Amino acid sequence: MKVFQHTASAILVSSLIAGAAQAQISDDEIRIGYLADMSGTYRDLSGPGGLEALNMAIEDFGGQVNGKKIVVFSADDLNKPDVGANTVRQWVDERNVDMVTGMVASSVVLAASKVVEQSGKLALISGAAASSLTNEYCSPNHIHWTYDSYALANGTAKSVLAGGGKKWFILTADYAFGHAMEADITKVVEADGGQVVGKARHPFPSSDFSSYILQAQGSGADVIAFANAGSDTVNSLMTASQFGVAQSGQKLAGMVVFLNDIHAMGLDVTQNLMLTTGWYWDMNDESRAWAQRYHKRFGKMPGMVPAGIYSATTNYLNAIKATGSDEAQTVRAQMMATPVNDMFAKNGKVRADGRMVHDMYLAQVKTPAESKGEWDLYKIVRTIPGDEAYRPVSESKCQLLSKGVAKRD
């Protein structure tokens, strides 16, 4: 009797608490959802820092567009596709969110972008690398803004090949993203007359890379490429440094390396590493000014992802201002029609497949002697024009382009 009543009330109370957490909010606002890994491996890539950049963009706009207030929701996707997709679904069902940004882990983004498409909203993908997002998984409901794996692999691999590295050993993280990068690198290497002399796929994630570095050393390769990201790249590079790889003359090429990784590893380990980036804080006056503002607010120098979030959001809000609407397709069309020229990108444009094509930069990590400050980490070696960096339309499988075969599931 009382037992069941107690338990019943317990259940009712807990469900009511749950219910209160999903109360409805009225419209007449621009609602932006920020989805990223806030507590896991990719936290420092975007995470709370990316949210800071988003808020900066909104504040710089005055917090409202044409009188409509801008509201932000943020959530931790825990790097899990189910959590990410469900959060977006809930945002759309319950709060009628207009735009979703952040979006870091490729697996999360692939799942979440499907939900965005089904609900007719817009996603501005800033953190994820998978180039498939504007290839076989392209959609009229998202724009891939900051960078992608094709541009990174292409940029770095081509330059290293040009520098004389013909024989390659590829160390790949054993998951879909790693495989995709491995394929991209192989294609570039073989197209330029190079040869992949060895490869190893390590479990994702791994902690000990000594065996793979040893295999790479024994393979006779000129270049060791790391088709992995995050802590795997950090560990691989550290191990390579310990095993004296650089001294033996082999070059190291990191595919997906961010400023926060270099900062964490230190210049001793990473010096002279070649990498490609979409933006660097010390590039020009505009980027420096913005970066200093960010650093004052957040305590760290921004990498390309927060900068990309700021840029994407600002362009999005401008498009709303121009069209007077927050409907996804109207805004997207406006963004496609407007060139991107801000502190993040020069000569940027949004292509029909949703790819924001802009100049990329080949960088080399400075030696400890060359570095004059905690965040003085890169020197920009070359600017890679956007059309050269990104996958050309002719090779694309995106069905949104006038040519190209659709391969959607």
Partner 1 sequence: MTSLQIKPAAARLQPQVVLERQQAASRRKRGFYLALFAVALVAPMAIYPVFLMKLLCFALFACAFNLLLGYAGLLSFGHAAFLATGGYVTGFLLSHYTGLGTELGILAGTLASAVLGLVFGLLAIRRQGIYFAMITLALAQLVFFIYVQAPFTGGENGLHGVPRGTLFGVFDLSNNLTLYYFVLAVFVFGYAVIQRTIHSPYGQVLKAIRENEPRAISLGYNVDAHKLLAFVISAALTGLAGSTKTVVFQLASLTDAHWHMSGEVILMTLLGGVGTVLGPLVGATVVVTLQSYLSNGPLGEWVHVILGMIFVLCVLLFRVGIVGWVLKLSRRNFHN
Partner 2 sequence: MTLIFGIPLSVMSGQLLLGLINGAFYALLSLGLAIIFGLLRIINFAHGAQYMLGAFAAVMGLNYLGVNYWAALVLAPLLVGVVGVFIERFLLRRIAGEDHLYGLLLTFGLALILEGSFVKLFGVSGSSYPMPEQLKGGFNLGFMFLPTYRAWVIVAALAVCLLTWFMIERTRLGSYLRAGTENPKLMQAFGINVPLLVTLTYGYGAALAAFAGVLAAPVYSVTPTMGANLLIVVFAVVVIGGMGSIMGAIVTGLAMGLIEGLTKVFYPEASNTVVFLVMVLVLLVRPAGLFGKEA
Q: Are 15 and 53 in contact (CB under 8 A)?
A: no
| One residue of 68, 89, 288, 379 binding partner 1 per CB under 8 A | 89
CB of residue 50 vs partner 1: minimum separation in angstroms?
14
Q: Which listed option, partner 1, partner 2, none, makes contact with residue 23 (CB within 5 to 8 Å by class)? A: none
CB of residue 207 vs partner 2: minimum separation in angstroms?
5
Q: Which listed option, partner 1, partner 2, none, makes contact with residue 235 (CB within 5 to 8 Å by class)? A: partner 2
Where does residue 79 fall: left (phi above 0), alpha (psi -120 to 50 degrees), or beta otherwise? Answer: left
Q: Tell me which amino acid residue 213 is.
A: I
Of 114, 34, 41, residue with least CA distance to 76: 34
- Strands 360-365 and 274-277 come out as antiparallel
Q: Are 366 and 267 in contact (CB under 8 A)?
A: yes
| One residue of 86, 325, 364, 383 binding partner 1 per CB under 8 A | 86
| One residue of 34, 147, 177, 212 binding partner 2 per CB under 8 A | 212
Q: Please provide the DSSP assignment of 190-202 as one string.
A: HHTT-EEEEEEEE
CB of residue 330 vs partner 1: minimum separation in angstroms?
26
Binding mask 1-40 for partner 1 (x = CB under 8 A): xxxxxxxx-xxx-xx-xxx-xx---------------xx-
Nearer to partner 1, 13 or 162 (CB): 13
Of 107-115, 277-285, 321-329, 375-383, which part binds partner 1 (CB under 8 A)? 107-115
Question: If you search the block for the tokens 């040009």, which residue do you land on?
Answer: 162
Of 147, 152, 176, 167, residue with least CA distance to 311: 147
Q: Are 387 and 356 in contact (CB under 8 A)?
A: no
Of 106-114, 158-166, 181-189, 246-254, which part binds partner 1 (CB under 8 A)? 106-114
Q: Where would I find the beta strands (DSSP E) of 86-241?
A: 99-102, 122-125, 142-144, 167-173, 195-202, 223-227
Q: Where would I find the beta strands (DSSP E) of 234-368?
A: 251-254, 274-277, 349-350, 356-357, 360-365
| One residue of 32, 36, 43, 142 binding partner 2 per CB under 8 A | 43
CB of residue 196 vs partner 2: minimum separation in angstroms?
16
Q: Is the peptide bond before 205 cis (omega within 30 degrees of 0)?
A: yes
How many angstroms separate the CA atoms of 207 and 217, rounded?
A: 19
Cβ neighbours of residue 369 under 8 Å, at least 6 residues apart?
none
Of 70-78, 107-115, 153-161, 256-264, which part binds partner 2 (CB under 8 A)? 256-264
| One residue of 16, 214, 289, 337 binding partner 2 per CB under 8 A | 214
Q: Is residue 83 close enough to count as binding partner 1 by CB under 8 A?
A: yes
CB of residue 206 vs partner 1: minimum separation in angstroms?
13
CB of residue 148 vs partner 2: minimum separation in angstroms?
22
Q: How many residues bind partner 2 (CB under 8 A)?
A: 38
68-76, strands of its sheet edge to edge? 64-65, 68-76, 29-36, 99-102, 122-125, 142-144
Of 56-64, 81-89, 336-344, 366-374, which part binds partner 1 (CB under 8 A)? 81-89
| One residue of 85, 328, 343, 356 binding partner 1 per CB under 8 A | 85
| Angle made by CA atoms 405, 338, 102, in degrees to the nearest 5 | 70
Where does residue 149 fall: left (phi above 0), alpha (psi -120 to 50 degrees), or beta otherwise? Answer: alpha
Report the interface residues with partner 1, using CB under 8 A. Answer: 1-8, 10-12, 14-15, 17-19, 21-22, 38-39, 73-76, 78, 80-83, 85-87, 89-90, 93-94, 106-107, 110-111, 114, 174-177, 204, 409
Report the interface residues with partner 2, using CB under 8 A. Answer: 39-44, 174, 200-203, 205-208, 210-212, 214-215, 217-218, 231, 234-235, 238-239, 242-244, 248, 260-261, 264-266, 268-269
